[in-house]
Amino acid sequence: MNHNKPIALVIGASRGIGAEFVKQLNEAGYDVIGTVRKPMDVPGASKVVDSVELASDENMEKAAKDIPEVDLLIVNASMGADDHLLTTNSKELNHYLDINVTGTHRAVLAFLPALRARQTRKIVFLCTSLVGSCELAIKEPFDTFNGPYAVSKVALNMLAIQFQRELAKEGFTVIPIDPGWVDTDMGRLTGADVLKEGGISAEESISGMLKVIASVNKGDTVRFLDWKGGECPW
């Protein structure tokens, strides 16, 4: 890796949005590190760290020891399905929260030393306004991916706000961003043809998000942004 170049770390880089982030960040001049759960090649990555699980403190901390410097941390990995609270038991709800919220918390804490070693210090959480916005859930509810998934995404937004409050004095920027309804394996779980019904490709989503990420500067008030730069309601 060339440490004169900016360094990006993508948590969850094996496919879909994460893989496309790696590809486009590489094309934009970053050295890109991708984490995956199982050993595999990730096109565009300068380094791939495998066996990284959001559910494990020990596992995440072990991965962080091998990554001393990072300018941009993108926490992409998550879980989701079209489940409902009335048919979700407490163990299943805790699993959603452990992966999507506590797992993101684990990743940030693990890689804080690497972020502090550089000056850019940007952290990106992938949220979704379709189900993660309390306001939209009341006024314009989305047909699917509600229940425990939506609960976890609302909590993830608050996690971003609180991290920004605590880290702003160190020059960190925390960005919760909505990638849109993307044509990925998870996006297709709605049962719809994503591209024919108003969704977007991973290429378009990531291209837009990278522009948004670049536009957010130190000292900016934390906002929930979409992939085109528009402000989403909390």
pTM summary value = 0.93
* Integer Cα distance of 12 and 35 in angstroms: 5
The pLDDT of residue 181 is 82
Task: Note the pLDDT of residue 144.
Answer: 76
Which segments of the chain have a pLDDT < 70? 1-3, 184-198
Look at residue 108 in the predicted model and tell me its pLDDT.
98
pLDDT of residue 131: 84
Predicted pLDDT at 39: 93
Question: Would you say 2 and 31 are in contact if contact means Cβ atoms under 8 Å apart?
Answer: yes
Domains (ranges, CATH) in the chain? 7-226 (3.40.50.720)
- pLDDT of 185 reads 58
What is the C-alpha to C-alpha distance for residues 40 and 96, in angstroms, rounded to an integer? 25
Q: What is the DSSP string of 75-142?
A: E------S--GGG--HHHHHHHHIIIIIHHHHHHHHHHHHHHTSS--EEEEE--HHHH-HHHHHHS--
Q: Supply angle C-alpha 117, 121, 123, rounded to 5.
A: 130
Task: Please tell me the predicted confidence (pLDDT) of residue 186.
Answer: 61
Which residues on neighbouring strands pair with residue 73, listed in sequence order?
9, 123
Residue 177 CA to residue 194 CA, distance in Å, equals 20
pLDDT at 187: 52
pLDDT at 91: 97
How confident is the model over 199-211, as pLDDT tens digits? Answer: 789 999 999 999 9
How far is residue 86 from each of residues 94, 121, 191, measured CA to CA in Å? 14, 40, 21
Query: Which pLDDT tens digit goes with each residue over 51-100?
Result: 999 999 999 999 999 999 999 999 998 888 889 999 999 999 999 999 99
Confidence at residue 213, expressed as pLDDT on a 0 to 100 scale: 98
